[in-house]
Structure 1
């Protein structure tokens, strides 16, 4: 699994910052271009919702980006426990309320949960395989051939063990486990999305009042 967590101040400028960092990180991981395009749209909507849900006293929002087993997962945490997301159905002239609908259209799954230490996490997942490095398949060591062995019959005196592989049940278990992970905990210093960028300029060597010619 490839994974990275970013903390940033909850201001509007955080949205383009997180979009750029997400695109750059997935490109560095060699995730398929289609997944990168989807991630760019999804992270914009999730980050926008988190910024809007944040209050003046909230120091940061957090985003976790994961790529594993052909899937990309984007999770965004905000501290405001009262701002639980809900899907709305805006009319044609409405300019807001479409964020979660867009996420639902782009994702194979999305949901929200209350983090154990406070706050709300909204997450989405969608297909996104990591492309192999050039020549990696040609240089790969072939797997050894395994010989199949007969599986012994179960002991009739032992109790039978039933396994439940229902996808919906497994998904609910995974969601509960996510809520126990404090990945969003406060960093030493969150990235400031409003920090100014200083550009050095050439010193002025001309003396005031003199003709340079």
Structure 2
């Protein structure tokens, strides 16, 4: 999924705009529209994620009953949100997910992107209750509580960007059950190729027919 408005932040670029305006915010995306859940930036992003699943399922080459979601960091948080919004997925595979347990994360790390919230509240001193109320609507922990498919979650125990306890919060509150893979000596890069292999094996257990066909091919 091309995350709206972020096409010039990383990767090879993207073309999806975010044409909605915002009130005062800190540089970045976490505080755009932060005073109203209806206007908050990630409301649009999470809606995009749910619609992306619908779009994939509409493709002739896709078995709509065998779709999983995955992502790393921000993508991991979005994957958790999608899994809480969309029924019938075979699984979710968030890696070192961002967007989990906002208030705890802000108290544990001064790294960005959570640092955007800190800088905003350092100026808007009386806005903390409003800010964290809005964020509660978009906390991936709450979407994990709504999930209807199992999850394979990775956590890096030396991660300074997404503190491990915030990732465990999402896994521990998962409605169906989450298997957690720990990388004890990794930071926010997580398990990289090793985790990709775990994902392949995990999906093969849930889609044996697809796995057998791929091996036969």
TM-score (norm 1): 0.28
Structure with more helix by fraction: 2
Query: Which is higher, the Rg of structure 1 or of structure 2?
Result: 1
TM-score normalised to structure 2 length: 0.28
Higher share of residues assigned strand? 1
Q: Higher relative contact order at CA 8 Å, sep ≥6: structure 1 or structure 2?
A: 1
